[in-house]
Structure 1
Amino acid sequence: MPASIPPNKNSQTEAALPHAEDAAVDNGPLKRDLISGLEKGLQVIEAFDQERSKLTISEVAQRVGLTRAAARRYLITLAHLGYMRHEQKVFSLTPKVLRLGQSYLHSARLPRIVQPLLYKLAYALEEAASAGVLDHDELVCVAAVSAGRLVSATLQPGTRVPAFYTANGRVLLANLPQHQINAMLDRLHFEPVTVHTIVNKERLLLEIARTGAQGYAVVDQELELGLRTIAVPLRNFRGETVAAVNVSVHAARMPIVDIVERCLPALLKVQIELAALL
């Protein structure tokens, strides 16, 4: 009889790898698979925002949780790569950082699919329209059309706003598991953005529940005075919520009592059309 061939250990290892990779995806990555330098470098970029456009080495170190020496090395590296500008003792971001966001907008399928229908929606209603996705506790605009109506500076691709105070954000939150909504609210620092901002946890929960029940959200000047928005979720062919789309109007042009009647039918039409494409 021919001698039996022992199993190839390498083959067994390779066969087990897909299961290990699937487990890493399901349960989160293993620490050995993460590149801490890349993680910290991106955190250094994120340390700069609208309120803090210029930071010293010490301020970056404090915001990111680095030593001053480490923060200095990251900032010098980013400046060498063209992502950072150094003037006297402060650092600031350069326009090259926009490439990171543009890479998503140019490569992601969602903005390309949504944009043409946003044009139809905005010009049919003669109002601004935008689409957004959730990123943790924030709403990120991924596509927008103004239709000649300059309603708000926040309606631009790449802008980030608190999800709880926007119509797009609320329809997306309404489709999350309740425990996840509660966890996000527990992290939220309740601070009024305008006199209309809801800063009570119980009221926000009621608004999110109402949004889920009726299938759309209306937000009246909670993020910005004069800005009223109505939004619906965008679902793919499997019924999963992947984004939200809204219409934004100026309060002086449209009373809050008219926004549902005038804008919701057009939004629902876009919702149906996109469900077959997403």
Structure 2
Amino acid sequence: MTTENDAPAARDMVAGLEKGLLVIAAFDQERSRLSIAEVAERTGLTRAAARRYLITLTHLGYMRHENKLFALTPMVLRLGQSYLHSARLPRIVQPLLYRLAYALGEAASAGVLDHDQLVCVAAVSAGQLVSVTLQPGTRVPAYCTANGRVLLAHLPQPQIDAFLERAQPERITEHTIVSKERLALEIARARAQGYALVDQELELGLRTIAVPLKNFRGDVVAAMNISVHAGRMPREEMVERCLPALIKMQVELNALL
């Protein structure tokens, strides 16, 4: 993650590329079709600039427009596929996720932190589709997910403090922890015990347990989890049955990363 201390100089930045990516990022699940004015509002661009970027992206095939509304095209998936096909982490993790998921008969996934969100980079359902969020490329809040909480727990303490200061937890389900004091305790618990168990905080019925993955230098670079439907497996059974399998796979992956 880039910090203020290692940010590149302005003369080394390509402003047009930065703004073009902002335009693409303005579209999400809630607003899949946007007008020029809405894109301008979401990106901070002028309407004239937003129009130029939208026209350019349409010409390149990344956008389509109809009735003055713009939407992303499947070509945008090439950007994500470039990461999944070229990055070392997903390629190494995916085969072991298959082994883990099919050994337990449950869904498994791996994710990384992107600012305050968790991004899924690899996933295997093993016939158990417990959540649509367990798909490569999906982004969810880090504070209410097991993978996210494990990754937050292994940040340097000043970064954890900064996260808690700027976080605005929302009650996604009746189980979501929204108290920053409780959230701080759960992050500390995950660090102390080496795993996190999150019970229906992101989705009702979704219960997840996760462990961190480290590279050869000992840096935490990702997290890996097992997800089950809450009605099929109690919390205690998750710890007894899933955690040993996770730890076994964690040891193998740490040697490879």
TM-score by length of 1: 0.90
Aligned position for 2:41:
62
* Aligned partner letter, 2:169: F
- Cα shift at 1:86: 0.4
Deviations 1:10-55 (CA, angstroms, capped at 9, x unpaired):
xxxxxxxxxxxxxx99622001000111000000000000111111
CA distance in structure 1 between the aligned counterparts of 2:51 and 2:4, rounded to whole angstroms? 33
Equivalent position amino acid for 2:222 in 1: A
Write the deviation string for residues 224-252 of structure 1: whole angstroms up to 9, x where unpaired: 00000000000112111010000000011
Q: Which runs of 5+ in 1 are unaligned?
A: 1-23
For residues 168 and 18 of structure 2, what CA distance do their matches in structure 1 show? 25
**Counterpart pick for 1:139 among 118, 127, 130:** 118
Structure 2, unmatched stretches of 5+, are: none
2:81 alignment partner in structure 1:
102
Once the two structures are superposed, residues 166-202 of structure 1 have per-residue CA deviations (whole angstroms, 9 ceiling, x without a partner) of 0000110001012212222222222100000000000
Partner of 2:173: 194
Other structure's SS at 1:183 match: helix
Alignment CA distance shift 1:186-1:26 (3 Å): closer
Structure 1 equivalent of residue 187 of structure 2: 208
Q: For the residues of structure 2 that align with 1:28 and 1:80, how far apart are their CA atoms?
A: 32
2:223 matches 1:244: yes
- Counterpart AA for 1:272: V
User: RMSD of the alignment, in Å?
Assistant: 1.2
Identity of aligned residues (%): 77
* Mapping 1:128-207, distance limit 5 Å: 128-207=107-186
Q: Work out the CA distance in 2 between the residues paired with 1:65 and 1:58.
A: 10
* 2:137 alignment partner, SS class: coil
1:260 to 2:239 alignment: yes
* Match runs of 1:86-101 below 5 Å: 86-101=65-80
2:23 corresponds to 1:28: no
Distance between the aligned counterparts of 1:43 and 1:200, measured in 2?
31
CA distance in 1, matches of 2:85, 2:245: 27
Change (3 A) 1:270 1:52: same
Give the drift of 1:257.
2.0
C-alpha contact 2:110 2:147 (8 A) present in aligned 1: yes
Q: Do the aligned residues in 1 keep the contact of 2:199 with 2:207 (CA within 8 Å)?
A: yes
Letter in 1 for 2:172: V
Q: How many residues align?
A: 255
Task: Name the CA distance, whole Å, in 1 between partners of 2:83 and 2:5.
Answer: 23
Q: Deviations over 1:69-114 (max 9, x none)?
A: 0000000000000001100111010010000000000000000100
182-191 or 104-113: which moved more? 182-191
Q: Distance in 1 between matches of 2:224 and 2:174?
A: 25
